[in-house]
Amino acid sequence: MKLLFSSLLLAGCLTAAAQNTVVATDGMVFNQTANHAHSEIAIIPEPVTIIKQEGHFILPQNILIQATKPADLKQTISFLQERLSVPTGFFVSSTATTSANANIKLVINDRNDAVIGAEGYHLQVTPQQIVITANKPAGIFYGVQTLMQLLPKQIESKDEVKEEVKWQIPCVNITDYPRLTWRGLMFDVARHFFTKEEVKQYIDAMVRYKYNILHLHLTDDEGWRIEIKGYPKLTEVGAWNVKRVGSFGTFIPPTADEPRNYGGFYTQADLKELVAYAQERFVNILPEVDVPGHSLAAVASYPELSCTPEAVNYKVRSGERIMDWSRGAPPLAMVDNTLCPANEKVYEFLDTVVAQVASIFPFEYMHMGGDEAPHNFWEKTPQIAELMKRENLKTMAQVQGYFERRLEKIVAKHGKRFMAWDEVLEGGVSQSTAVMSWRDMKYGVQAAKNKHEVVMSPTQYAYLDYMQADEITEPKVYKGLRLSKTYEFDPVPDGVDPKYIKGGQGNLWTEQVYNIRQAEYQTWPRGFAIAESVWSPKEKKNWKNFFARTEQHFERLNIAETKYAPSVYDPIFAVKRTADGKLLVTLTTEVEGLDIYYSFDNSFPDHFYPKYNEPLVVPVDANMLRVITYRDKKPIGRMMNMPIEELNKRAPKK
């Protein structure tokens, strides 16, 4: 049906557009012009079909928007009015009546168009008019996001643009709809607290790229961020720690007299406001309460929720080391950061928490964590031994499985669907559990084969806290994840029934993210790559094409004052030793067309310095290698300072 519709759509306009398009054997239309770095059309995520026509629509100084169902499109009309009027200074109005003067028409179909579904749209731009049609208001909203990307980059300005701009839009026919229904970003507001306004800012950025799920990680060892009536200490105690900066997990433990005044929490009214703000932009908020592990903030507030008597002395974590990961996962806990599965007070507590969270968040799913729960304190707890005997449980994984099954019943009682990280599969959970697969794609594949609903968010593609370039440049965390690797993400792997894969998401953990600017830096441009993986047709994946569009969106983010990482321009270091023990350094780049210049003499290279052409032998007394990338005689990468001592550490010993 989709291919038939594409053929009909193309029939009337292929002749005029032939020089700009290629029709694939499956009937899809690919825009060749997007392969050029400065194409007029650079849409992220890439639409299903784009047909470029001759001519442009010139934005008039009096813009009239006509909407067929204005009550349903109120927020989208408001969004469009603001986005068009502020940077241009033009007057923008709207009407519900048919008008020959309407410049932009927003049309909700009377009859359902099966091709585009609930979130798709058709966008037609002619020299006379812009028409966006969709089955549902969400589709109109996404069509508007595409329209914004067809305008000059200055449309991203938060103020009226004083320079001369030709406010025009290329004539196109676009048909577009998402590949997957779950297109998410996870924002960890527990490790570091982000204000309500900052969360709104994050939502504003993500909707431009057609994301529709914001997963809020609301509780962890470092903070409990939700007001729960009846448990005031969760926010009086659990929301606050001692501020430390540096490398998370290695901080000096706070002394007893250091003030615990770093953190914060959301009132229930705050969260309802965020829910409404997100819904106006067709985003659902998925709340996560992470239990039974990652619960030190809750245990420090209410020690009776623990299995461990010493919990009365526990404090909310401030980034000091509390886990021993030397043997892998699950870790050995140095303090017991778990809720006690053998304690009935825990289930009373969780019933209250789930009830109140369910009343705040209308989204059908509730995420209850389940990851990285250490078992070593459980292993020496008499109550756990009694529980195992009574319930015939043989392993600690089964103890956690008992906890998860009871928790799922609580979640279901309050009208929500239970979702958890993939570890919960190990202890046995009901088939109705929705699984978020993070450790590896294989756990999601396994869950889907067992007919669980699955959201793919694997570390090797989708962890936005990971370093985007060499650790000498980036905030140091566990691993690196470059943009090109993220772009390889395919949420629906071969051999899996696609009906069980709800979608995919990127996860931004914030141990090393202290402010909203760094949150943006970690999210973009890898957020572009994930958006394309969950929205665009798999067949249209093309790294060079994607990066050409990404570079144009860098310019848009600059104007929008959204921070992003330029790490993709930084060279990649590889080092080994020669037969006589010298260091040999190979430099490569993630994108083509860059020149690398270098120095070993402690000065800062520019394009008059030696150009890298072959692996470099490090001079015997050098202590610093500096490199920078250029394009067309202009610096494009950052100056990178690589200590020779660091290269020595990385080089395998002969």
- 243 assigned to some structural domain: yes
457 and 436 in contact (C-beta within 8 Å)?
yes
- 552 assigned to some structural domain: no
pLDDT of residue 240: 98
- Do residues 366 and 498 share a domain? yes
Residue 480 three-state SS: strand
SS3 content of the chain, % helix, strand, coil (to 5): 35, 25, 45
State yes or no: pLDDT of 63 exceeds 60.
yes
- Do residues 148 and 188 share a domain? no
State yes or no: pLDDT of 16 exceeds 70.
no
State yes or no: pLDDT of 37 exceeds 90.
no
- Do residues 39 and 73 share a domain? yes
pLDDT band at residue 654, thresholds of 50, 70 and 90?
A: low
Name 512's bridge partners: none
With vertex at residue 408, the alpha carbon angle to CA 403 and CA 410, rounded to the nearest 5 degrees, is: 100
- 542 assigned to some structural domain: no
State yes or no: pLDDT of 179 exceeds 60.
yes
State yes or no: pLDDT of 600 exceeds 50.
yes
What is the average per-residue pLDDT within 298-303? Answer: 98
Percent of the chain with pLDDT over 90: 88
Cβ neighbours of residue 528 closer than 8 Å, sequence gap 6 or more: 44, 45, 209, 546, 549, 550, 553
The count of structural domains within the chain is 3
The count of other CB atoms within 10 Å of the CB of residue 208 is 22
Residue 108 three-state SS: strand
Of the candidates 52, 29, 183, 35, the one whose C-alpha atom is nearest the C-alpha of residue 546 is 35
What is the average per-residue pLDDT within 141-162? Answer: 97
pLDDT band at residue 5, thresholds of 50, 70 and 90?
A: very low
SS3 labels along 413-428: HCCCEEEEEHHHHHHC
- 333 assigned to some structural domain: yes
What is the average per-residue pLDDT within 376-395? Answer: 95
112 and 106 in contact (C-beta within 8 Å)?
no
Distance CA 267, CA 391 (A): 39
- The string of pLDDT tens digits covering residues 332-363 is 899 999 999 999 999 999 999 999 999 999 99
Helix extents (H) in 254-378: 268-280, 296-301, 344-360
The count of other CB atoms within 10 Å of the CB of residue 367 is 26
- 563 assigned to some structural domain: no
- Do residues 314 and 251 share a domain? yes
Poorest-confidence range of 91-105, 432-446, 638-652?
A: 91-105
Indicate the residue among 158, 176, 194 that finishes a domain.
Answer: 176
Bond from prior residue into 47 cis (ω within 30 degrees of 0): no
Indicate the residue among 536, 553, 588 that finishes a domain.
Answer: 536
What is the average per-residue pLDDT within 272-294? Answer: 98
Identify the domain containing residue 468 by its residue range: 183-536
Indicate the residue among 176, 194, 213 that finishes a domain.
Answer: 176
On average, the pLDDT of the chain sits at 92
pLDDT of residue 259: 95
State yes or no: pLDDT of 470 exceeds 70.
yes
- Do residues 579 and 487 share a domain? no
Query: Which residue carries 């982000």 as its tokens?
Result: 194
- Do residues 262 and 317 share a domain? yes
Exposure letters 426-441 (e unless 16+ CB within 10 A, then b): bbebeeebbbbbbbeb
What is the average per-residue pLDDT within 269-278? Answer: 98
- Do residues 318 and 393 share a domain? yes
What is the average per-residue pLDDT within 397-421? Answer: 97
Distance CA 372, CA 292 (A): 9
- Do residues 427 and 576 share a domain? no
- In the chain, what's the furthest Cα-to-Cα distance? 82
Poorest-confidence range of 141-150, 493-502, 520-529?
A: 493-502
Virtual torsion, Cα 518, 523, 525, 526, nearest 10 deg: 140
pLDDT of residue 326: 82
- Do residues 126 and 192 share a domain? no
What is the average per-residue pLDDT within 147-154? Answer: 98
- 545 assigned to some structural domain: no
- Do residues 230 and 103 share a domain? no
pLDDT band at residue 475, thresholds of 50, 70 and 90?
A: confident
- 555 assigned to some structural domain: no
Bond from prior residue into 382 cis (ω within 30 degrees of 0): no
- 420 assigned to some structural domain: yes
pLDDT of residue 12: 35
Distance CA 364, CA 628 (A): 49
- 575, containing H or E segment: strand 572-577
Distance CA 3, CA 26 (A): 7
- The string of pLDDT tens digits covering residues 511-568 is 999 999 999 999 999 999 999 999 999 999 999 999 999 999 999 999 999 999 999 9
- Do residues 263 and 390 share a domain? yes
- Do residues 88 and 203 share a domain? no
β-strand 417-421 against 213-217: which pairing, if any? unpaired
Poorest-confidence range of 224-238, 420-434, 602-616?
A: 420-434
The CATH code of the domain that includes 588 is 2.60.40
The CATH code of the domain that includes 255 is 3.20.20.80
What is the average per-residue pLDDT within 450-469? Answer: 97
- The string of pLDDT tens digits covering residues 220-250 is 999 999 999 999 999 999 999 999 998 888 8
State yes or no: pLDDT of 19 exceeds 60.
no
231 and 219 in contact (C-beta within 8 Å)?
no
The CATH code of the domain that includes 155 is 3.30.379.10
Distance CA 462, CA 466 (A): 9
